[in-house]
Amino acid sequence: MLSREFLIERGYCCGLGCLMCPYEPKHTKGNTKMKDEALNKNILIVCALEVETQGQLDDYDVLYTGVGKVNATYTLTTHFGKYGSHIPYDLVINYGTAGSRKIKKKTLVDCTKFVQRDMDVTGLGFMRGETPFEDEPPLMLDFGITKYNNIKRRAVCGSGDNFVEDRTQYYGEVVDMEAYALAKVCYMRDIPFVSFKYITDGADEQAHEDWEANLADGIEEFKKQVLSEIPR
C-alpha cells in the first residue's frame, strides 16, 4: 500500500483507487488539488509492534519501531532523517499497551508526561529518571494538554527496557518500554506529540498472560476514542 506521505509528495492523483488518496475529488487521474486536511494535518502513528494494532490501522501512516527505548529512538530518528529539516508531520501519535498498578485494566489513558524509569544514577546524587550532565530535556517531559488530548484519564508514563512484573521496577502511573524515547525525539525536533496507552495488565506476575489477552480490545478502544475524533 502506498503511504499518504508518498502520494502527497508525488503531487498528483494516479486514478488507481489508492486507499490513502489525499486528493479531492479522489481517484481522479491527474488531479492535483489536495483535500484541506491533507494540507493541514499530516499524522504519523507510532507503535512498537504490529501485534498491538491487530491489522486495524492499515489505512493510516503507521511506523513500527520494535521493542524498547533504543529501537524506538533509532527508528523514529531515522524516519525523520529522511526529510532533513522539513519533517512533514503536524502530529505524532503514539499508541501502545502498558501496565499499571494504579489504573484498572482495560482502560485507555492519555499520557501527557513521560519519565525514564530505568535511568538510575542516584548513587552519584542524581534523581531517579534524571540523565546525568544533561540540561535538556528536563527530567519529566511534559507536553501539556492540547486539542488532541481528548481522553479525560491522564497519566504519567514511565518507560524502561524491561517488562515490568515486579513492584521494584515500577515508576510512574503506567509503565511501558518506548514512550519516553519517542517523546524525547519529538521534543528535540519540536513536533507535537501525544501518547495513548491501553492498560492490558497490572504490571505484576500475571502481566504476560493479561497483555496477550487484552491486545484486541485495546486497538478497538483506541480507534473509537481517539482516531474517530482526530481529523485526517
SS3 letters across the chain: CCCHHHHHHHCCCCCCCCCCCCECCCCCCCCCCECHHHHHCCEEEEECCHHHCCCCCCCCCEEECCCCHHHHHHHHHHHHHCCCCCCCCCEEEEEEEEECCCCCCCCEEEEEEEEECCCCCHHHCCCCCCCCCCCCCCCCEECCCCCCCCCCCEEEEEECCCCCCCHHHCCCCEEECCHHHHHHHHHHHCCCEEEEEEEEECCCCCHHHHHHHCHHHHHHHHHHHCHHHCCC
Residue intervals of the chain classified under CATH 3.40.50.1580 are 41-229
pTM flag (> 0.95): no
What homologous superfamily does CATH list for 41-229? Answer: Nucleoside phosphorylase domain (3.40.50.1580)
pLDDT at 5 (0 to 100) = 66
pLDDT at 228 (0 to 100) = 86
pLDDT per position as a tens digit, 128-184: 878 888 887 777 899 888 777 778 899 999 999 887 666 655 567 899 999 999 999
pLDDT at 137 (0 to 100) = 76
| Residues of the chain predicted below pLDDT 50 | 39-40
